A = this chain, B = another copy of it.
Amino acid sequence: MKLYGYWRSSASFRVRLALYLKELEFEYHPVHLVKDGGEQHTPEYRKLNPAGLVPTFVDDEVTLNQSLAIIEYLDERYKQHPLLPSATVDKARARALAYDLACELQPVTNLRVLKYLTGELNCSDEQRNDWIHHWVHQSFTAFEQRLTETAGDYCYGDSVTLADICLLPQVYNAERFKVPLDNYPTLVAVHDRLQQLTAVQQARPENQPDAQ
């Protein structure tokens, strides 16, 4: 298995988390998103991923993009350490938590959107930071309320699920942009418990070979 990713990309972080949580061995191929205008735009990488996004995942003859599709694939193909509950309703609820972050928060705060703000729209650094803080607070406020109903040790009950995999990169980003998390005690408690897992430490951005 090969994972093409970038240390600080949320979507790459998610796939690393799934791979380590499921104890699957893989080769990590860094794709630098900033250097020389971005290695994701090279013709060679675009052959693997026409959108020029990370991550791309290769498992034998299978090449996949989109972190959530990769993780569902891994969970269906490799049964150890399941990342979704088995019951239909529980699975739907855990997925909904994951999508609350992956489809609402991550896309509006990712690198290319921030670049558009400061580039085409000529936003100041302050406006860019306000943008990030606004969407993090909007998302985490609703997420905290959901967690009070769903969380055990982790986001959905006492097993690590896709929801936790989506939470970790969003907290990493929130901390990076100094968003205060005092209003989200359940979220922070879950995040603290996740940090204690070896797989989470292995997957963290700062522990990747391309981290700077």
Q: Which residues on A are within 8 Å of B, measured CB to CB?
A: 50-53, 62, 64-66, 68-70, 72-73, 76-77, 88-89, 91-93, 95-96, 99-100, 102-104, 106-108, 113, 116-117, 120-121, 123, 127, 130-131, 134, 139, 142, 145-146
Contact = CB atoms under 8 A, between A and B. Distances in A.
Mostly, the A contact residues are helix
Contacts of A116: 131, 134
B107 A104 contact: yes
A66 B134 CA distance: 20
A66 B145 contact: no
Contact of A68 (B70, B88, B103): B103
What is the count of identical protomers in the complex?
2
* CB-CB nearest 5 A-B residue pairs: A51-B142, A107-B107, A73-B92, A69-B96, A66-B96
Contacts of A103: 66, 68, 102-103, 106-107
B51 A70 contact: no
Nearest to A113: B108
A204 B107 CA distance: 25
